[in-house]
Amino acid sequence: MSADTWWKNGIVYQIYPRSFQDSNGDGIGDLDGIRARLDYLVSLGIDAVWISPIYPSPMADFGYDISDFCDIDPRFGTLDGFDALVGDAHSRGLRVILDFVPNHTSDRHPWFVQSRSARSDRRRNWYLWRDPAPDGGPPNNWVSNFGGPAWTLDPSTGQYYGHSFLKEQPDLNWRNPEVRAAMYEVLRFWLRRGVDGFRVDVLSQIIKDAQFRDNPPNPDFVEGQDPFHRWLMLYNTDLPEVQQIVAEMRRVVDAFSDTHSSRVLIGELYLPFARLVAYYGLNAQGALEGVQLPFNFQLIATEWQAARIDRLVRDYEAALPPGAAPNWVLGNHDKPRIASRVGQQMARIAAMLLLTLRGTPTLYYGDEIGMTDVPIPADEVQDPFEKNKPGMGLGRDPERTPMQWSAAASAGFTTGTPWLRLAADWRTHNVEAQSHDEAGSMLALYRHLIALRRAQPALNRGSYEALAAEDEVLAYARNGEGQRLVVLLNFGAASAPMSPALLPRQPIVLASTDPARAEFIKGPLVLAPYEGVVIGAVVDKAATMR
């Protein structure tokens, strides 16, 4: 195994820490809770745990407003507890990835407190400060992701400060070398504690136009849409200068890699393929010096049809620079859950797709048991996104509800009152119940697919080959080390006969989303409605048994 095998061929599992496991009864998940569930993660078969922010925070945006980059919020635990978690994870062969939030701090961070104290303060230029427009309003037309202008007036100094999100989240000035040096030291702080990598929050937005020009209007904007989309973010996202910063981050992280294990950077980037792949950082010498895994979110946004996904995968594979590692994501803490988007039957197809495509898959906690979005009444809403834009359906609470562990009180998540309400089906739809159903449950399917991915070299590190099939069937092969496995996914509500030409000689079903599917194929292969299968040859199975 090479030093980068764990992130190139492994599986990343995202934990939203408030919702994974509470160890002290306060209704909020914590580090000791994650530590108590490590054996579950090992049994699932994942390789790395990505933990959303756990730093000290006033929690205006639930941890993405950070008041100290180099400590642990008491709600989640302590630095000693974090060290114990990393040690226990490593002893089990699990890697630990942290969220790195470079775009902004909390307005209570000591840096910003200093910065706003006076125009002459030495940290004034650590943030984006601008004089008012001639009419006294904001300096330009930039808008916040969470609603309203991206500028707030500070009456005591008479200038506006910029914030891409809440006014409690002032943006750092990444054009200032002192800011870069301080933030790179944050990376080193956690790398010295054994962290294996970082998921970098809103990476494309961290540097802004030096002239602070107005963004142009969006010609495709339709009244009734989120007002955020009224303007094209030409001058405050995805600027060319960000690539230099990405390369600098990569060098910081690479300094902690060795021949046994490389550290990884994962970029949060909601960009089309043509722009996304630029963040791999292909330089003039043909080396990749950017983030190793620019997050590919296209499966979250695309229409759930075989032909659309077939085109999407082909386009992505064609856009990747030489030597780049692909990756795929079905869901995260900001988007509706896959089972809510496509339904439980199709969520099984989605699981097979995610775990058989070429590249690093990322799982979102709870998707492996088919958790769905939970409707949150207006008086229980926690998410500032929803509070700032009520009635637009932008709230992220529904996909952040507590993990459903068992039929015990509060689904085994806490002995207290959960910070968000549970799904109505938690008594029957949980890890414990699905663990007893080793054939038909979603959890059983995930465990089987992950085990198959580990066992079969063609799935683990083989190439991708698109295959032609009927309109409602997505077909592709994975080839590697003398193996050829065929994946057939029926997106249709009708049975789908498969051409024998698609199948290997002596075909055998290595996995199916249908628990009733027999292992050996007798006669023509006909997929059931919404069935997916992984087909190998008898010799392939025999080889993995030895």
pLDDT tens digits for range 493-542: 999 999 999 999 899 999 999 999 999 998 899 999 999 999 999 766 55
Q: What is the CATH number of the domain that holds 182?
A: 3.20.20.80
| CATH number of domain containing 127 | 3.90.400.10
Do 20 and 62 sit in the same domain of this protein?
yes
Given the residues 47, 168, 171, 201, select the one marked as catalytic.
Answer: 201
Q: Which residue has the higher pLDDT, 545 or 336?
A: 336
Phi and psi at 280, nearest 5°, equal -70, -25
Asked whether residue 232 is assigned to any structural domain, the reply reads: yes
Same domain, 363 and 498: no
- The residue type of 410 is S
Looking at the domain assignment, is residue 458 inside a domain?
no
- Considering the entire predicted model, what is its pTM? 0.96
The verdict on residue 171 lying in a domain is no
How does DSSP assign 165-215, residue by residue? S-TTSPBB-TTSHHHHHHHHHHHHHHHHTT--EEEETTGGGSS--TT-PPP
37 and 94 housed in the same domain: yes
| Within a domain: 58 | yes
Q: Is residue 451 part of a domain?
A: no
Residue 439 near residue 448 (C-beta atoms within 8 A): no
Contacts for 235 with CB less than 8 Å, ≥ 6 apart: 142, 208, 209, 211, 212, 213, 214, 215
Q: What is the pLDDT of residues 336-393, one digit of tens each?
A: 999 999 999 999 999 999 999 999 999 999 999 999 999 999 999 999 889 888 877 8
Judge contact between 19 and 34, C-beta under 8 A.
no
CA angle (11 as vertex; 28, 487 as ends), nearest 5:
125
Q: Is the pLDDT of residue 545 over 50?
A: no
What number is the average pLDDT over the span 479-500? 96
Judged by DSSP in three states, 226 sits in coil
Q: Are 520 and 535 in contact (CB under 8 A)?
A: no
Is position 228 within any domain? Answer: yes
Strands 129-130 and 463-467, by their bridges, are unpaired
The letter for the amino acid at 105 is T
**Mind listing the pLDDT tens digit for each residue in 247-288?**
999 999 999 999 889 999 999 999 999 999 999 999 989 999
DSSP state of 391: T
Is there a domain that residue 477 lies in? yes
- For residues 354 and 494, membership in a common domain is answered with no
125 and 95, same structural domain? no
Secondary structure class of 494 (helix, strand, coil): coil
Structure tokens at 295: 């997050």
Active site residue 268: yes
Instruction: Find out whether 207 and 247 touch, Cβ atoms under 8 Å.
Output: no
Say if residue 21 is in the same domain as residue 57: yes
- How high is the pLDDT of residue 471? 82
- Please say which residue of 162, 185, 201 terminates a domain: 162
Share of the chain above pLDDT 90, in %: 93
Among the residue ranges 94-98, 219-223, 247-251, the one predicted with the least confidence is 219-223
DSSP state of 236: S
Helix H, strand E, coil C: the string for 19-35 is HCCCCCCCCCCCHHHHH
Among the listed residues 22, 30, 47, 268, the single catalytic one is 268
Does some domain include residue 146?
yes
Q: Following CA atoms 53, 54, 55, 56 in sequence, which dihedral angle do they give, to the nearest 10 degrees?
A: 120
CA gap 158, 136 in Å, rounded: 10
Instruction: Give yes or no: residues 423 and 506 share one domain.
Output: no
pLDDT at 546: 35
151 with 296, same domain: the answer is: no
Q: What is the CATH number of the domain that holds 518?
A: 2.60.40.1180
473 plus 519 within the same structural domain: yes
Quick one: 91 and 230 in the same domain? yes
User: Would you call 333 helix, strand, or coil by DSSP?
Assistant: coil
User: What is residue 541's predicted lDDT score, i.e. its pLDDT?
Assistant: 59
Same domain, 95 and 116: no
CA nearest neighbour of 266 among 287, 291, 289, 245: 291
Q: How many domains does the chain have?
A: 3
Q: Beta-carbon neighbour count of residue 156 at 10 Å?
A: 10
* pLDDT tens, residue by residue, 3-26: 999 999 999 999 999 999 999 999
User: Is residue 290's pLDDT more than 70?
Assistant: yes
What's the sign of the alpha-carbon dihedral 203, 204, 207, 212? negative
Q: Quickly state the pLDDT bin for 128 (edges 50, 70, 90).
A: very high
What is the residue-averaged pLDDT of the chain? 96
| pLDDT-derived band at 394, boundaries 50, 70, 90 | confident
Residue 256: helix, strand or coil by DSSP? coil
Domain match, 77 and 91 both:
yes
Q: Please say whether the beta carbons of 216 and 140 come within 8 A.
A: no
pLDDT at 224: 84
Question: How confident is the model over 36-63, as pLDDT tens digits?
Answer: 999 999 999 999 999 999 999 999 999 9
Strand partners, 477: 465, 486
Residue 286 backbone class (left: φ over 0; alpha: ψ -120 to 50; beta: rest): left
Bridge partner residues of 484 (DSSP): 479
Task: Identify the domain containing residue 203 by its residue range.
Answer: 5-105+177-445
